[in-house]
A and B are shown apart, each in its own frame.
Chain A
Amino acid sequence: MGENEKFDMNKDNTNKFTNYSFSDYASKNVKCPSCGMFNPPKLEKCRRCGTPVPKNG
């Protein structure tokens, strides 16, 4: 590849498909220790089973 080795593959110009949009939601949400559902960190309790959601994931 020559010149291409200098190219930063880890920048945005990635050659791997990312679900650029939902990864925002998916990666920020916090997993419920009881049922496994991911919840927005602002929630106190899991939307699915009502278990308290850990604050720091």
Chain B
Amino acid sequence: MSDDKKAQGNSGKVQWQEGDLTVTRTCSWTAPGCHDGCSVLYYTKGNKLVKVEGDPESQYNFGRLCMRCLNQPELVNDPNRVKWPMKRIGERGENKWERVTWDEAYDIIEKNVRNIWRDYGPESIVTAIGTGRNTWSIVPKLTYSAFKSPNFSMGFLAGDSCYLPRAAAMGTMIGDFFIVDASQLDERRYANPEWKRPECIIIWGNNPIISNGDGFLGHWIVDMMKMGTKLIVVDPYLTWFASRADYWLQLRPGTDATVVLAMLNVIIEEGLYDKDFVDKWTYGLDKLAERVKEYSPEKAEEISWVPAEKIREAARFFAKAKPASVQWGLAVDTQRAGVSVANGICALVAITGNLDVPGGQHLIRTAFGVDRLAHVSSDWGYGELSPEMRAKRIGTDKYPLFKYGLCATARGDSVLEAIETGRPYPVQMYWFESTNLFICTASEAKRVYKAMKKVPFVVCVDPVLTPSAVAFADLVLPAAMSIERSSLRTWWTPLRSISKILQYEDCKTDEEICLDLGKRLNPEQFPWDTVEDMIDWALKPAGVTYKELEAKVMMWPEVHYKKYEKGLLREDGEPGFNTDTGLVNLYQDIFDEWGLDPLPSHMEPPYSPISTPQLMKEYPLILTAGSRPWEFFHSEHRQSATLREFHPNPRLTINPETAEKLDIKDGDWVWIENNLGKVKQVAVLDPGIDPRVVHGEHAWWFPEKEAAEPTLFGAFESNINILTTQCTTGPTGYGAPLKNTICKVYKA
């Protein structure tokens, strides 16, 4: 029987048998994986995962899966995973461990936490997670409610440059998150009569078919392209999308603000904005119009290298397309002007009348309001802290926007400084869960490595033994993978169940660890007997239990457009946006109150042809970094032999013209060096990158190499984070130049 016929025979079922294989229909959301939560069919035999397929009945991913998800059996069944709790018995970095029971591990943690509470205060405990994973909701709860600390963080991520600058910008300017309306809000999808196909999508600093970031599946754009949607792509590299775009704006990395402000200049000057929307629902167009006069397309060309005429044409094209939207990515965040760039893009979407219209930029909240466990909200438990304790969140004293963004993180750069200097107070305990600190999220990897050695008590929770675990951890706790977890997923819609099918050795789920420790340390805030009780509580807004949701696999909520007209956004039920003014703040009085520029502007990267022309003589190339490869999600997947067969080594993308001048051939190992250090990667000659720019891959380590120091899985060999900077953010405290620094390249 063909696979199609088999699937039809099992239509609507949650679980069935195919020969000796059990097939389960569910959702997968890290680990291993990515930001997204695709619908899968897991084929298992006993306690072993045999294969994974995309669920052909899912209106979410329509049966599609990427190679990372298809490769799950290799990672789930990996015999080198962490199998049980381990206590360090040698020096940090020696990779010497002793197996302990969960109770023994919890006893050690509880004793340390209580001692820290008594001697230093709960604020001396800092936690960290990696991006896009299920831990985004659970670790905050652990931090705020179990450890009673205000310091939940994204590790040492400079400028919290992963979605948070965009979240902060959306928070102050619009009051809600937004997302491209690719019809994903309604189960009928492209057949929903209320939905309209976007005429134009700008893909800004993003390669969504690989990254699938922020609750958006990149292939939806491919679907819409097939239906006729046109693209504008803003990217320094000729991505697959850029090669098919009507306009490719190939900019110098870190100059995005000039491009968006010049586009606004054209749209406002030529009267191409939606006057009705602007009059009724925005505040400050006159002031924005004054500001963008400083950014003519010619001025933008001078700074960004994008031809002025192309900026003009793209601006007109976008403004005239109805509806239109912007799919943005990490490159928006990873610059000192990250918040400004995001503000500029928010303004672009708003003044062209594309906010919350069908096929435009949807103002999105989680399905049925289920935010706990299922979402990337970082405030679960934050309200339980006293105002005095909240005020101690690291970084908020100097950077008020951190208090008022849509996420409640402790600022990564400020945490690093606190460890280094003991100010505003020393960090006594560091808990990192599903993040590989100095390999992936941190910049200045050697500085962070040195700082972390100073923290007295460190716990790592991860499915695999990473360089960060070996280098710093006193305890390593084995985390379950997605197929081993009962949980939920919204971020954003539909509401999906995640079913536990397997148990790997002595692993526990993130949810279990949080609940176990919560019940020991602060039982009042953990009134649930089991994780399923906790999930049932989280599901109350949806009116179902976990078992009921599991039987449905997913649930789609009702869609509402133009919610600002209907009083659906504000707590007081008034029409308008959930902002201080009730309007879209094109000019931000709040920024003015905080001593920040209330309007968007460009800021040069700290190292660039304009900022440091002298240094450019020694390091003449722009170094951008961190684009996503097909095979890996950040530092994950390096242990997969299959994925490494596709992508064995870290790659430096370099224009053939530049390579020729440097006598570099395709496949040569090369040094990438700047004033902070040097690392080695393999040159890939590619005319899709500007001759003045090179791209280095991030998050590389080599699980096949020696774990113990000094090798540490090759942690310092190809780690591009050695060349990027901490503590060089813009004035908001958000956004750091991770993708726009300088270097020289030469044969290794």
Contact = CB atoms under 8 A, between A and B. Distances in A.
Interface stretch (B156-164, B192-200, B526-534, B674-682): B526-534
B580 A26 contact: yes
B576 A36 contact: yes
Interface in B499-543: 525, 527-529, 533, 536-538, 540-541
Task: Give the interface size bracket for A toward B.
Answer: 20 to 34
Interface string A1-45: 111101101011111111111110111010100001111100000
Interface of B: 145, 171-172, 175-176, 280, 283, 365-366, 369-372, 375, 377, 379, 381-384, 403-406, 408, 525, 527-529, 533, 536-538, 540-541, 570-572, 574-576, 578-583, 589-590
A36 B583 CA distance: 9
Contact of B572 (A6, A18, A22, A27): A27
B578 A22 contact: yes
Contacts of B366: 17
Contacts of B370: 15
Given A1-B536, A37-B582, 19 more contacts: A3-B529, A3-B533, A4-B536, A4-B537, A9-B540, A12-B383, A13-B145, A18-B571, A19-B406, A20-B379, A21-B404, A21-B405, A26-B571, A26-B572, A26-B579, A26-B582, A31-B582, A38-B576, A38-B580
Contact of A1 (B280, B375, B537, B581): B537
Given A20-B408, A21-B404, A3 B527 contact: yes
B541 A16 contact: yes
Nearest to B280: A36
A22 B576 CA distance: 14
A22 B171 CA distance: 8
A12 to B, nearest CB: 3
Contacts of A18: 379, 383, 571
A21 B540 CA distance: 24
24 contacts: A1-B533, A1-B536, A1-B537, A3-B528, A4-B527, A4-B536, A11-B384, A12-B383, A13-B145, A13-B381, A13-B383, A13-B525, A15-B372, A15-B538, A17-B365, A20-B383, A21-B403, A22-B579, A23-B578, A27-B571, A31-B574, A38-B582, A47-B581, A48-B583
Contact of A14 (B383, B570, B581): B383
Which 9 pairs of residues, A with B, have the shortest CB-CB distance? A12-B383, A17-B371, A25-B580, A38-B582, A21-B404, A7-B527, A12-B384, A15-B372, A37-B581
A17 B369 contact: yes
A13 to B, nearest CB: 6
